[in-house]
Amino acid sequence: MTNIPVTTWSLEQTSPDDLLPAAAPEGDVRIVRAEAPSPEFSRFLYASVGGDIQWIDRLSWTYAQWQRHLERPGVETWVAYDRGTPAGYVELDPQDDGVVEIVYFGLIPAFRGRRIGGHLLAYGAARAWDLAERWPGLARTKRVWLHTCSKDGEHAMDNYLRRGFKLFDTKVEEEAEAATPGPWPGAYPG
């Protein structure tokens, strides 16, 4: 198996005023919180969005692991729908001292390039900033952060910067090159 260099960039917002809006996409695009924890749906989103960019860390999770994660207070999944079809998602995970991580964000490949991503990211970041309003007992959000890497889509970094995220760390590590799992073989048009 071959190793490849992977650059990981960490970005943050330290005030809700840092968040820059995105234009709403054309058509019937809605963003809805998946309020009922559903390991099946969350795994579908994870595999469908991350399959072509080698998201593999959660593929081995059991049903119970997904359930435990999704039931943690403050963990939220916001799903973008294009005409009723899931197009992508953003997952929020509260951490200590008012920090919220955007753990996963992205679009299913068939929905990329339609201006949905900027809108979804801006909406998800806004929900990270007001997370404590929906979860009594959580600290008020003081910082929202995320990471992206050189395996992510070519427009990912630009989208984060246009939404007001600022770079605070860069790391380069060697990783084993993984086969692209996708939600199933041949799922992506060539």
**Which residue ranges make up each domain of the chain?**
3-176
**pLDDT above 90: percentage of residues in the chain:** 79
pLDDT in tens, 79-91: 999 999 999 999 9
Judge whether 132 and 141 are in contact, CB under 8 Å.
yes
Q: How far apart are CA 156 and CA 118, in angstroms?
A: 9
The DSSP 8-state label assigned to residue 35 in this structure reads -
Tens digit of each residue's pLDDT (9 = 90 or more) over 10-43: 999 999 999 999 999 999 999 999 999 999 999 9
Tell how strand 3-13 and strand 166-176 pair up: antiparallel
Separation CA 20–CA 17 (nearest Å):
8
What would the pLDDT profile of 99-141 be if each residue is shown by its tens digit? 999 999 999 999 999 999 999 999 999 999 999 999 999 999 9
Distant-in-sequence, close-in-space partners of 29: CB < 8 Å, separation ≥ 6: 80, 81, 82, 87, 116, 119
Do β-strands 143-149 and 99-107 pair in parallel, antiparallel, or remain unpaired? Answer: parallel
State residue 177's pLDDT score. Answer: 75
**Domain at 3-176, CATH homologous superfamily:** Gcn5-related N-acetyltransferase (GNAT) (3.40.630.30)
